Structure 1
Amino acid sequence: MACSRRTKERTPLPRERTPLPRNAKMLATKQTRAGKVGPTAENVDPEKEENCYAKRSSSSPQGGPKKRSAFGDITNARKNQLVAGKKEAVKVAPPKAQKAQGTLGVAKNNEINLKKSMKKTPPKAPSEPEVDPVPEKPVPVQELKPPKERLPAVEDIDKEQLGDPYASAEYAKEIFEYMREREEKFMLPDFMEKQPDITGDMRAILVDWMVEVQENFELNHETLYLAVKLVDHYLVEVVSMREKLQLIGSTAILIASKFEERCPPCVDDFLYICDDAYKREELLAMEMSILSTLKFDINIPIPYRFLRRFAKCARATMETLTLARFLCEMTLQEYDYARESPSKLAASCLLLALTMKNLGGWTPTLEYYSGYSAQDLHPLVKRLNFLLTYQPRDKLNTVRSKYSHRVFFEVAKLAPMDMLKLEKALTSC
């Protein structure tokens, strides 16, 4: 008995007992006969309905349509059925009424009343916009896709590291877009014009010494690049003398070490590398001067970070990346490259390294993530190859001796490309 009661309780109501809407008996019977869609279709889960629609339209070249188009077709079909039912009720009802009553007077009265109502209220022109017409030809889904989806050759480079909590792959694209925006804020002007006692050669000597400090203390490359940026931005605002230039450079390394390193060197270490030329109070005063002049905004975009990002897009080997780093570090000494955009400089160094290694040109993935086409980088690539070929500063060879070590794959010993071959390789890619 218990089982029979449970089955009775679980037995669904028959479809004939479901209440029908008012004045829609003919519409309900026609819908159930033609499409076998009863009033219970309103209770269908929208997600299930969307899945069914996607399966029916699997022949589309872009796959199933989007949610918006799918739900729009469902609502249009439902509204069109209701509108069609009303029209059929208006047209079919008078003949049935004529047969039932057997008189023509009722039909005439109905026509008169219908004409009066048509004059008072417009037929259906105002209400038609409420029902979206079903397009005869489906809208191509490709027009509604964002630019990234329209490029089939673009690869998602952060997909492989989504599970790594230290990689921040979910925010990597937004982080580098933010750094690209900050590039505009930190573009350097020609500040050597207002420095009466400092020249570009003095700046090159200072940077060469800073590279040596980075090696001796085994600091990160990000620390070196940021320290050089701090020196340049400080000299934009403050006129300095040549005897203070080394103090500015060592203090910039101290600030960059605090920003980038896990265990930065202490103040006494920097006093030691300066051969006790400055006192402790002078170093601390210079630190306060640099930070206050830059308003403590020292998160300056550097080309080294962009270079590592772009090398990941190209899936470059460590040797190719090291060659690009060598090219990029060579530009630190040159004042002419200090005013270049960090992202553009990094992209140009990578393109020259790929060309020197004969590893192909600028792919759509690199163009998408870097924001530069190959034609945008060609002038800067030629300048970099010219710098590598003629070596304007032979006496300042700290960077070359550093990258001539086998730890860095001896990339500094590679022969530069011939300018004509480089021109041909750039035009062909």
Structure 2
Amino acid sequence: MATRRVRGDPVENRRALGDIGNIASLPGAEEAGKLNRPLTRNFRAQLLENANKKEVAKNQEGVRAVQRKARAAVVVKPTQPHEVIVISPDTNEVAKAKKNVTYSSVLNARSKALDIDSADKDNDLAAVEYVEDMYSFYKEVENESKPQMYMQTQTEINEKMRSILVDWLVDVHVKFDLSPETLYLTINIIDRFLSLKPVPRRELQLVGVSALLIASKYEEIWPPQVNDLVYVTDNSYQSKQILVMEKTILGNLEWYLTVPTQYVFLARFIKAAVPDPEMESMVHFLAELGLMHYDALKFCPSMLAASAVYAARCFLSKTPAWTETLTFHTGYSEHELMDCSKLLAFIHSRVGESKLRAVFKKYSKAERCAVALVSSPAKSPLLSSSASCSLEKS
């Protein structure tokens, strides 16, 4: 019976790699088996190189033999009539022709659209080769993480309470100087959680601050500490309560946090608009106003982002308001965006009289071009009386 070795006992006659069965599968294993030293990485690389040289030499000799046979078999024959090859409908050539017909409309649209990625072709982080495929995928899956309209299932909270919570979170987000991605993911987490679970009124702020903690851990290099979040709630909750709620939210969402939020589409669509700083700030201003409004949940993130771009161009009197480049990269026509854009325009028209001022203050500063102080054009098609009447209840 083999004796059990106790830790610390000297190891005698131990062979490094010698008894491991997979050494036999290495090229040059016969020579390696005779060695009395470990098979190091450098030595293994040398064995592989030698084996590869032998294999290459063998292949080259085979190619030369085939060429010799081919030359010996060349015989001049009388001219024969040209053989006509009929391609069946199932061949690759016909399949490619069908594919070209299928994509003809896409290619036509691409030819009219500006190449918005040409300046980034040498930027590896821009992923120019894959960016269009990435955004096609985002649009395919965005509805999987889209929150449902949930207020009918909530007995203690309402739309106004949600707006107050988002307004407070925007203020906290500014104070901590967090990234925009964190804000949009925070609101997405809150709405998805409220879609799944009724929440008492006293715990709504707890849900918000816990969602901010989750989003910060996901997006930020240095997320806020739990004690910092306790402080901003004016000690309304303890650290343990925030951590318990964090676990509850993650459990209900099944840890599904990698989602295409509105900000993902904003980054691409703003680029397609070829913006100036004022227009870019206006787009973000309208998008964040939309975050506060419960009725905006009926629209998917890509449509909200595209509508924010369209509404911003209308407010700043950009002509044309919607271009073929924007149509190509967003996938939406001007007509398709009208309902969502009218909602954003209506929210914008009421921002001056609202008591919720966080977004307004944020975009009233000079570094954001003070776009909150830009009034909506009186003749904007987005402010028609019919649109205002249909949204008055909001």
TM-score exceeds 0.5: yes
CA distance in 1, matches of 2:381, 2:265: 27
Tell me by how many angstroms 1:81 deviates.
1.9
Aligned length: 303
Q: Is residue 112–residue 324 contact of structure 2 (8 Å, CA) maintained in 1?
A: yes
* Rg larger in structure: 1
1:403 paired with 2:363, answer yes
CA distance in 1, matches of 2:364, 2:266: 20
Question: For 1:31-57, what per-residue CA distance to the aligned partner results, in whole angstroms no more than 9, with x for missing partners?
Answer: xxxxxxxxxxxxxxxxxxxxxxxxxxx
Tell me by how many angstroms 1:282 deviates.
1.0
Q: Is residue 156–residue 199 contact of structure 2 (8 Å, CA) maintained in 1?
A: yes
**Measured at CA, do residues 175 and 242 of structure 1 come closer, stay the same or move farther in structure 2, by a change above 3 Å?**
same
**Residue type at the aligned position of 2:326:** L
1:363 paired with 2:331, answer no
Runs of 4+ with deviation above 6 angstroms = 139-142
Tell me by how many angstroms 1:331 deviates.
1.1
The counterpart of 1:315, out of the listed 274, 290, 294, is 274
More displaced 10-residue stretch of structure 1: 387-396 or 375-384: 387-396
Q: Is residue 338–residue 382 contact of structure 2 (8 Å, CA) maintained in 1?
A: no
CA distance in 2, matches of 1:193, 1:421: 32
Q: Which residue is 2:143 aligned to?
A: 184
1:19 paired with 2:20, answer no
CA distance in 2, matches of 1:395, 1:341: 27
Q: Which residue is 1:283 aligned to?
A: 242
**Residue type at the aligned position of 1:237:** L
CA distance in 1, matches of 2:228, 2:160: 26
More displaced 10-residue stretch of structure 1: 323-332 or 275-284: 275-284
**Residue type at the aligned position of 2:303:** K
The counterpart of 1:304, out of the listed 245, 252, 263, is 263
**Measured at CA, do residues 420 and 320 of structure 1 come closer, stay the same or move farther in structure 2, by a change above 3 Å?**
closer
**Measured at CA, do residues 282 and 387 of structure 1 come closer, stay the same or move farther in structure 2, by a change above 3 Å?**
same
CA distance in 2, matches of 1:140, 1:284: 56
**Residue type at the aligned position of 1:412:** A
The counterpart of 2:285, out of the listed 326, 341, 346, is 326
Q: Which residue is 2:227 aligned to?
A: 268
Tell me by how many angstroms 1:383 deviates.
2.3
**Measured at CA, do residues 131 and 242 of structure 1 come closer, stay the same or move farther in structure 2, by a change above 3 Å?**
closer
What is the SS of the residue equivalent to 2:145? coil
Q: Is residue 320–residue 353 contact of structure 1 (8 Å, CA) maintained in 2?
A: yes
Q: Which residue is 2:302 aligned to?
A: 343
**Residue type at the aligned position of 1:147:** S
Q: Which residue is 1:149 aligned to?
A: 107
Matches within 5 A, 1:240-279: 240-279=199-238
| RMSD value, Cα | 2.6
CA distance in 1, matches of 2:155, 2:288: 27
Q: Which residue is 2:159 aligned to?
A: 200
What is the SS of the residue equivalent to 2:247? helix
**Measured at CA, do residues 234 and 161 of structure 1 come closer, stay the same or move farther in structure 2, by a change above 3 Å?**
same
Q: Is residue 349–residue 381 contact of structure 1 (8 Å, CA) maintained in 2?
A: yes
Tell me by how many angstroms 1:423 deviates.
7.4
Q: Is residue 142–residue 150 contact of structure 1 (8 Å, CA) maintained in 2?
A: no
Q: Which residue is 1:380 aligned to?
A: 340
Tell me by how many angstroms 1:180 deviates.
1.0
**Residue type at the aligned position of 1:298:** L
Q: Is residue 210–residue 242 contact of structure 2 (8 Å, CA) maintained in 1?
A: yes
CA distance in 2, matches of 1:188, 1:423: 27
Tell me by how many angstroms 1:292 deviates.
0.8
What is the SS of the residue equivalent to 2:134? helix
Tell me by how many angstroms 1:160 deviates.
2.3
What is the SS of the residue equivalent to 2:82? helix
CA distance in 2, matches of 1:179, 1:142: 24
The counterpart of 1:415, out of the listed 375, 388, 391, is 375
Q: Which residue is 2:82 aligned to?
A: 81
Q: Which residue is 1:96 aligned to?
A: none
Q: Is residue 226–residue 256 contact of structure 1 (8 Å, CA) maintained in 2?
A: yes
1:390 paired with 2:350, answer yes
Question: For 1:216-261, what per-residue CA distance to the aligned partner results, in whole angstroms no more than 9, with x for missing partners?
Answer: 0000111111101111111111111011111110010000001111
More displaced 10-residue stretch of structure 1: 300-309 or 389-398: 389-398
**Measured at CA, do residues 277 and 141 of structure 1 come closer, stay the same or move farther in structure 2, by a change above 3 Å?**
closer
Tell me by how many angstroms 1:327 deviates.
0.6
Question: For 1:323-366, what per-residue CA distance to the aligned partner results, in whole angstroms no more than 9, with x for missing partners?
Answer: 01101111111111123111101111101111222222221121
CA distance in 1, matches of 2:332, 2:146: 18
CA distance in 2, matches of 1:212, 1:82: 78
CA distance in 1, matches of 2:217, 2:382: 41
CA distance in 1, matches of 2:380, 2:244: 52
Q: Is residue 148–residue 297 contact of structure 2 (8 Å, CA) maintained in 1?
A: no
CA distance in 1, matches of 2:100, 2:238: 67
CA distance in 1, matches of 2:218, 2:127: 19
Q: Is residue 158–residue 170 contact of structure 1 (8 Å, CA) maintained in 2?
A: no
TM score, norm. by length of structure 2 = 0.71
CA distance in 1, matches of 2:98, 2:261: 42
**Residue type at the aligned position of 1:293:** N
| Gap regions ≥5 residues in structure 1 | 1-16, 29-79, 84-127, 133-138, 425-429
| Gap regions ≥5 residues in structure 2 | 1-72, 90-96, 385-394
